[in-house]
Structure 1
Amino acid sequence: MSLSTDNVRIDQASGVRGSGTVARFDYASVTPLFMLTDVALILGLSVLVDFFFSTQFSAGFEITRPLGIGILAAVAFVLTNVSGGLYKPWRMVRLVEETRAAVVNWTFAIFLVATVIFCLKVGDSTSRLSTGIFAVLGFVALPASRWALGIWLRRAIRTGAVRGRPSMLIGDAAELDKVVPAQMLMRLGLDEVRRFGLSTPAPGIHGSALMPADVDALKSALQFARQNRIEEIVLAMPWSDIERLDAVRAKLRSVPLPVKLLPDEVMSELLDAPRVDFGASIAIEVQRAPLSRFELAQKRSLDLMVASVAMLLLLPLFTIIATAIKLDSRGPVIFRQRRNGFGGREFTIFKFRSMTVMEDGSKVVQAQRHDKRVTRVGRFLRASSLDELPQLLNVLLGQMSIVGPRPHAIAHDDEYSKLISGYAFRHHVKPGITGWAQVQGLRGETPELGLMERRIEMDLWYINNWSVWLDLRIILRTFLEVFRNDAY
């Protein structure tokens, strides 16, 4: 059962929740409260920072400017959180996850604000200093607020300060034992008032009729529901015994109340996977689809920010590397090779030339340790991964991403797609300059098929678990990985 342990006081004799705590507000008000808190915090930061700098360094304070920036940032931040389901109470108590999400979504909001300011050409009337301080303070205040709200909500759930809809549980003893009231409140917004146990069928026996004791228990449950203003009934029974479930449902039709069936132990594992609408029913997503439009927009925004800043900062280094390549050996500075990108579409990848050959045909030989084809400058470039820097241009052109599965030569793609199951799935996202496999140490030559299989396994894990936070994590780890100096 997915509803697992926590501590909420239950009357052991009757199963009725203890009355030692006083409910102060409804479960339904938690999400709007958190949203309003974020809006108020962002607007307050924007106005206060601008007020401080205006009174200290300029003639006067105009509230319309910081209010407009604050509203834009708040709308972007809140809508991003809503789209990710981050205002759901059961998500809010995951403190580390919520803190990470706050950092990522605030980055997106600030990027949007900067883009709007640039497009509307109002940069001259906007204080860069106050806007910058506002952005920096947001990276501190919003995660701190998330942390504090999560701790407060945990405490409110534990002490009974949150009131859910009155509900009662009906089910087999084995399944009921796995259901914890605090998790019922956290995940479903239901306040368990009482639970009624049914007899447990013998193992392996399905389609059994209701026992007389079960009929009596259901009569008692229905009477209790009518007398105590129960708003919802929750069933905790094995999904495999369809006939018994139907018999219980038939008995419950005499009361006009919604009935929910919790996943049993077997189904809980399957339902951990994402769920998608499938007509009037649902389907379990056992293989992730390509990123949604919103996710693509997030990833593209991160790519543009990182690639643009990197190109500007590294232009002097580009010049030095290009000069060194020209002085070291004959040939072009930039190496070009055809690779397969998103959806298997072909593109030309750019790298600083590190070898004396320019292979791009039906046979491409991977670089090996002490490979004589590698130039003196090329050996340093490959060891430090500086030869990959021109791929920033591929990122700006939209052909690659900063993070993603590394693109292989077309000859290698054709070879490995025949040998490794699931190889083609790595084309569900754009190829990257760095990736999850690379920061796990899987760089360079793959002389054995097993090494490539491990790399592909890492690539598929990345695709199925993608998030902006994961991309940021990989980017940071890439800087550490290149210092290991194990590429050749």
Structure 2
Amino acid sequence: MSLSANEGRAGAGAGDFAARGASRIGYGSTSLMFATADVVAIAGLNMLVSFLFSAIAFEGEAFDLARGFGISLAASVAFVLTTQARGLYKPWQIARVSDEVSAAVVNWTFAVLFVGTVIFCLKVGNETSRLATGTFAALGFVVLPSLRWFYALWLRRSIAAGAVTGRSAIVIGDEKEVAKLTADDMMYGLGLSERRRFIFPSGDAAGAPDPLKSALQYARQHKIEEIVLALPWNDRARLDEVRARLRAMPIPVKLLPDAAVSPLLNAPRVEFGTSVAIEVQRAPLSRIELSQKRALDIAVSSLALTVLLPLFAAIALLIKLDTRGPVIFRQRRNGFGGREFTIFKFRSMTVMEDGAQITQAQKNDKRVTRVGRVLRATSLDELPQVMNVLLGHMSIVGPRPHAIAHDDAYSKLISGYAFRHHVKPGITGWAQVMGLRGETAKIELMERRIEMDLWYINNWSIWLDITIILKTFIEVMRKQAY
């Protein structure tokens, strides 16, 4: 029964702050603080841009305070409410910088569209400076994601220094279960400042001190505000005994999921009468969800095809000049429901395999052409698949389709492989933005990729698709394929 590492660190930090006379912030107040900071940033940015354009661009034209306030209010409300609804002001979520940055871009896009709709509906477009409003919207895509980096940095440093405090708590449990729980988990996930751990002895330890008695005594003496249990869920007898004895303390008690239950709790939860059920396999997308996904596919693929048409022509010319053969590589793949379709790619190799035996490209593969090596490294060889998306064979986001020969082989080796066909295959996917691109020489790599694909299917939302599209650009620049 030793003091946790967090107690010493938090105590030292708190002492430093007390010595300097600095105030501390409660864990529960941080969400409101972040939301307020966003409102101030959005309002301040709009007012500054509007004032500068009035004073400089429009040669001293009077600054319309009411209109500037109205746009600030609309943008702030749309952004903050969307962020709050998605749970992105929670401290543990703020600490996930990459997710927060992507979400900020998506939420600000929604806010900009909302402001545009309000301006249109109120018929004040002629009185509103398009240049100033456009500049404000563009700068928001820089300022708000940048704030996420600052929030995360401030939160980590403040928690480490004791400037952000949680409710005092103790942990009671088995050694194996407690060992997986860190002080940071307690603070970020539960808002608790761990004071001490009480471990049940393993095996038959006759005459050993009763950890539960010691925990209750410690909780009374040190005014503990919450108790956390880390015990196996299948040990019902001990759980019932612990719960019964803890009723002597009028404070909250939380039971953490054990090693067997934790993976299941990553799945979505649904109402089951007065209880909840775990959705270990979700139903196919509803008509509304399919319509949302299809609308996003058409919008993104149409825009990509229009903007990238000159690039398509340049790549086609380079392929023709480099080696003999067709510009477009075609290969049969299995799509939604296992239905076969033909996928399009820019040809990057000297072979056109589409049979029972297909060899994956490997590092320094001699079959890859000079132009093909650049195309594969930058993923430009995948661009013609926007045509597959427009034709309805594929989606922008979904599990990557594999050659039919590989499908047949992996379906026999990996459990749940066929479930990938419950949605349309995609140009990019959750597995790809999580770093699982390129060759899967080992079965373990493919199993990991399939695990990611199944997670995507079970947790699909239109917001997840938008997040993956944004992350794809980052991943392509970060890691090259071959």
Interval of TM-score (by shorter of Structure 1 and Structure 2): 0.5 to 0.7
Q: 1:428 to 1:23 in 2, by over 3 A?
A: farther
Per-residue CA distance 1:76-98 (angstroms, 9 max, x = gap) = 43344335432212332x2xx32
C-alpha change, 1:164 and 1:55, in structure 2 (3 Å) is same
Deviation at 1:216, TM superposition (A): 5.1
CA distance in 1, matches of 2:34, 2:288: 23
- Structure 1 residue runs of 5 or longer lacking an equivalent are 370-377, 444-449
TM-score by length of 2: 0.67
- Structure-2 residue corresponding to 1:391: 385
Does residue 245 (structure 1) correspond to residue 239 (structure 2)? The answer is: yes
3-state SS in 1 of match to 2:396? strand
| C-alpha distance in 2 between matches for 1:129 and 1:156 | 39
Once the 2 structures are TM-superposed, how far is the Cα of residue 402 of structure 1 from its aligned partner?
3.3
**Equivalent-residue separation in structure 2 for 1:247 and 1:30 (angstroms):** 36
Partner of 2:102: 104
**Which residue number in structure 1 is paired with residue 306 of structure 2?**
312
Q: 1:57 matched to which residue of 2?
A: 57
CA 1:454–1:314: 2 relative to 1, 3 Å: farther
Which residue of the other structure, out of 226, 249, 253, is the alignment partner of 1:259?
Answer: 253
Counterpart secondary structure, 2:427: strand
Three-state SS of the structure 2 residue aligned to 1:402 is strand
**Pair 1:135–1:349, CA change in 2 (3 A):** same
Alignment of structure 1 residues 11-410 onto 2, 5 Å: 21=18, 24-58=24-58, 59-63=61-65, 66-92=68-94, 94=95, 97-98=96-97, 100-113=98-111, 115=113, 117=116, 120=120, 127-170=129-172, 183-191=185-193, 195=196, 197=198, 200-203=200-203, 213=210, 217=214, 220=217, 224=221, 228=223, 230-237=224-231, 239=233, 241-263=235-257, 266=259, 270=263, 273-274=266-267, 276-277=269-270, 279=272, 306-318=300-312, 340-344=334-338, 384=375, 388-396=382-390, 399-408=393-402
Deviation of 1:35 after TM superposition, in Å, equals 1.4
1:442 aligns with 2:445: no
Q: Aligned in 2, Cα 1:300/1:165: closer, same or farther, shift over 3 Å?
A: farther
5+ residue gaps, structure 2 = 362-368, 457-463
Q: Is the 8 A contact 2:31 2:89 kept in 1?
A: yes
Q: 1:62 to 1:213 in 2, by over 3 A?
A: same
CA contact (8 A) 2:88 2:100 kept: no
In the TM superposition, residue 33 of structure 1 has moved relative to its aligned partner by 1.5
Q: CA–CA distance in 2 between the matches of 1:60 and 1:346?
A: 64
Q: TM-score, normalised by structure 1?
A: 0.66
Distance 2:39 2:353 in 1: 56
Residues 80, 105 of structure 1: 8 Å contact kept: no
The Cα RMSD (Å) is 5.5
Structure 2 vs 1, CA of residues 186 and 402 (structure 1 numbering), >3 Å: closer, same or farther? closer
- Give the AA of the match of 2:472: I
Q: Distance in 2 between matches of 1:454 and 1:212?
A: 45
Q: 1:470 to 1:10 in 2, by over 3 A?
A: closer
Residue of structure 1 equivalent to 2:425: 431
The worse-fitting range, judged by mean Cα deviation, of 253-262 and 407-416 is 407-416
Which has the higher mean CA deviation after the structures are superposed, 141-150 or 404-413? 404-413
Shift of 1:421: 4.1
Secondary structure at the aligned position of 1:405 is classed as coil
Q: Measure the CA separation in 2 of the matches of 1:211 and 1:325.
A: 76
Q: Contact conserved, 2:10 with 2:161, CA < 8 A, in 1? A: no
Provide Cα deviations, 1:375-407, integer angstroms capped at 9, x if missing partner. Answer: xxx996898476754432443465433344343
Q: Residue 103 of structure 1 contacts residue 139 of structure 1 at CA under 8 Å; is this kept in 2?
A: no
User: Aligned-pair distance for 1:169?
Assistant: 4.7
Deviation digits for residues 209-255 of structure 1, max 9, x if unmatched? x9885675466357548xx4x54333355555432332232222234
Whether contact under 8 Å (2:7, 2:196) holds in the other structure is no
Distance of 2:198 and 2:328 partners within structure 1:
73
Partner of 2:453: 463
Please tell me whether the aligned partners of residues 364 and 409 of structure 1 are also in contact (alpha carbons under 8 angstroms). Answer: no
